[in-house]
Amino acid sequence: MFRAIAAHLMMTLMLAALLGGCGDSDAPATARSPADGLTGKLTLTGSSTLAPLAAEIGKRFEQRHPGVRVDVQTGGSSRGIRDVTSGAADVGMSSRSLNADETPGLTTHTVAWDGVCFIVHRDNPVAALTNEQLLAIYTGKIDNWKQVDGDDAPIVVIDRAEGRSEVELVTHFFRITTPDIKADAIAGENQQAIKSVSTNPNAIVYLSIGTSEHEAARGVPIKLLPLNGVPASVATVLDGTFPLARPLIMITRNDTPSPLVDAFIAFATSSDVDDLVEAQSFVPIKH
């Protein structure tokens, strides 16, 4: 009898502790009532490239406006444009510019830039590669550096994991599909890509320009290759001259103005989210 009661008590206590713990981590001790009057739910759909960043921005927005819920769903840029046009989403996300027939009644807001460059080891004598040479290297038609005026050494081609935004950008740029790429290794995270090249003078990989520039400045032995004669840097991405870059945009409807959507877009394009943009290896916009 006593044991049963004790067990019961214990159970209740543990449950309470568990639930209490959950509640605490969910909501900070600050007042829950919306001080600024912003309440409601915001739905974003579209580009899977932009979605992780949008989710982070959404989280920070929710912290500042406790009455707001931000729901981010993926499904591709086309879905984002379609959903915001139809009203299924409040904000569409796209990692490509809109076609002419998609624009009426919509406003686009660039929230970040996605720029990708090719890097080689600093000791690699090759200073630049043409688009044709890069394409030939990545499709396995050129496999020795001497074919592109480098040393007599095999080219170690490193690709990125399928589904990453870098892959999408590069395959789109060269008008190829992922099965066309003949790689010697595949790198996941940016740091792995950097390490694969900084430890192998014959390797080549592509990754975020922001991360590459940062690592090169830190003294990691890598070299950013120019593209079409344009040096790879955050600056050339921002002024629109670097060819392997694209804006990440949020799209809103003109006919249904909403203070909540306006506040969210203003926040997403403010310098308050620059650190989130950089954490996702994108380039923040100029404010």
Contacts 24+ apart (CB under 8 A), 164-171: 165/48, 165/49, 165/95, 165/114, 166/116, 166/206, 166/207, 166/208, 168/49, 168/95, 169/114, 169/116, 169/244, 169/245, 169/246, 170/116, 170/138, 170/206, 170/244
- Quick one: 147 or 200, whose CB is closer to other proteins? 200
Residue 47 is a binding residue for other proteins (CB under 8 A): no
279 touches other proteins by CB under 8 A: no
Binding of other proteins by 82 (CB under 8 A): no
- 11 counts as binding other proteins under rule CB under 8 A: yes
Residue with smaller CB distance to other proteins, 252 or 281 = 281
- Nearer to other proteins by Cβ, of 185 and 238: the residue is 185
DSSP per residue, 100-112: GGG-TTEEEEEEE
Question: How would you class 258 by CB atoms within 10 Å of its CB: exposed for 0-12, middle for 13-18, buried for 19 or more?
Answer: middle
Q: Report which of 252, 248, 247, 246 is spatially closest to residue 92, judged by C-alpha positions.
A: 252
Minimum distance, C-beta of residue 7 to other proteins, in the bound complex (Å): 4
Instruction: Compute the least distance from the CB of residue 175 to other proteins, in Å.
Output: 16
Q: Kindly state the tokens that stand for 40.
A: 């409601």
Would you count residue 163 as binding other proteins (CB under 8 A)?
Answer: yes
Task: Retrieve residue 151's tokens.
Answer: 């040393």
Among 161, 235, 266, 279, binds other proteins (CB under 8 A): 161
Smallest distance from other proteins to CB 4, Å = 9
Which of the stretches 126-134, 178-186, 206-214, 243-251 binds other proteins when contact is defined by CB under 8 A?
178-186
> At residue 141, what are phi and psi to the nearest 5 degrees?
-85, -25
Where residue 37 falls (left for φ over 0; alpha for ψ -120 to 50; beta otherwise) is: left
Quick check: 120 binds other proteins (CB under 8 A)?
A: no
Comparison of 56 and 272: residue with beta carbon closer to other proteins: 56
Does 67 engage in binding with other proteins (CB under 8 A)? no
The amino acid that residue 10 corresponds to is M
CB of 37 to other proteins, least distance (A): 35
- Binding other proteins (rule: CB under 8 A), the pick from 40, 55, 69, 75 is 75
Among 147, 200, 241, 258, binds other proteins (CB under 8 A): 200
| Chain centroid to CA 88 | 23
The three-class DSSP label of residue 168 is helix
Q: Are 176 and 225 in contact (CB under 8 A)?
A: no
Report the interface residues with other proteins, using CB under 8 A.
Answer: 2-3, 6-7, 9-11, 14, 48, 52, 74-75, 153-154, 156, 161-164, 177-179, 183-188, 192, 195-196, 199-200, 202-203
